[in-house]
Amino acid sequence: MSEKTILQVDNVSLELGGKRILNHLSMDIWTGHVHAIVGVNGAGKSTLASTIMGLNGYRHFEGDILFEGQSIKNMNVAERARLGITLAWQEPARYEGLTVEKFILAGAGNACSHTVERALQTLGLDPGKYAQRAVDRTLSGGERKRVELASIVAMRPRLVIMDEPDSGIDVDALNRIFDTLKILRDHGSTVILITHSMTVLKQADHAFLLCCGNVLDKGGIDKIEGFFGRKCQGCDHQNKPDQEELNGE
């Protein structure tokens, strides 16, 4: 294999509330590529995203996660972020009083106001209108999603995990997010899209199909899209695959 692996999820199992959510899951994420992780609700997609980011409650798992060959298992969120890993939440946090400008600058190192302007413009938000607004309930869900992505653009991460990027936004905003994906890739970022949307899936180069906390299949988009569409949508044993499927048959 000539592709370079930036992130290796190695035989990871994780239980939450006594239930096994990730089940001996392994996958390699290639540097500079856009990967999609698809699956029905409850397949373990967001849990995997939280585990890679090291969020509270997702730190104690079996197996290992390596970033450029280095284990990040014992690192907290900030330490992983300083390696260049970041996460865009499905439902971004709200902050009373914290301005968009300060929120974006928080992750942008020694950046200046021009960085904020450029990041907002990339997401189609007018800096004059948005920079001094608070990241609070006065922003719509779609606006907060774009502000969050602007903060990630300004951060210039090496690996971005985007959890359900199409959740709660309109078509125009989604297209802007897809454009931003390209910009992130042009900047050398590796992207993981967490989704159950065919529209989002099509933005990726490769995909992993998750079921019951494990990788059921992986490969090109057409292959995964076909399998997901045919077998997962309407599947009567969602997240309880039979042994044949787990064996990849």
Partner 1 sequence: MENNKLIRQMYDSLGEGHGHEPGVAHVEIHGNKVLGLHLVDGLEIIAEEKEEGIDATIRVKAGIKIEKPVKICFGLIPETGVQRINIKTHIEKNASIGIVASCTFPFAKEILHTMDAEIRLDEGAEYTYIERHVHGPEGGVTVIPRAKVILGKGARFRTDFELIKGRVGEIDIEYDAECHARSILEMSARISGRGTDKIRINEMANLLGEDAVAVLTTNIAVRDSAHARIENTIIASAAGTRGHVDCKEIIQGNATAQAIPIVDVRHAKAHVTHEAAIGSVDSKQLETLMARGLNEDDATDLIIEGLLRPQY
Site for partner 1 in 151-210 (CB under 8 A): 151-152, 155
Stretch that binds partner 1, among 53-61, 163-171, 197-205, 228-236 (CB under 8 A): 53-61
- Tell me which of 148, 163, 164, 245 binds partner 1, using CB under 8 A: 148
Q: Is 218 in the site for partner 1 (CB under 8 A)?
A: no
User: Could you say which of 40, 66, 77, 235 contacts partner 1 (CB under 8 A)?
Assistant: 77
Q: Is 95 in the site for partner 1 (CB under 8 A)?
A: yes
Q: Which is nearer to partner 1, 54 or 127 (CB)?
A: 54
Is 112 near partner 1 (CB under 8 A)?
A: no
Q: Candidates 2-10, 81-89, 175-183, 195-203 — which segment interacts with partner 1 by CB under 8 A?
A: 81-89
Query: Binding string, 120-139, against partner 1, x = CB under 8 A?
Result: --------------xx----
Applying CB under 8 A, what is the total number of residues that bind partner 1?
32
Contact call for residues 49 and 163 (beta carbons, < 8 A): yes
Candidate residues 32, 107, 124, 141; the one interacting with partner 1 per rule CB under 8 A: 107
Q: How far is CA 45 from CA 9, 111, 186, 199, in A?
A: 13, 33, 25, 17
102, 118, 223, 231: residue in contact with partner 1 (rule CB under 8 A): 102
From candidates 5, 13, 20, 98, binder to partner 1 by CB under 8 A: 98
* C-beta atoms surrounding 157 within 10 Å: 23
Inter-CA distances, 217 with 32, 51, 53, 245, Å:
21, 20, 23, 9
Q: Which residues of this protein are in contact with partner 1, per CB under 8 A?
A: 53, 55-56, 76-78, 80-82, 85-87, 89, 92-99, 102, 106-109, 134-135, 148, 151-152, 155
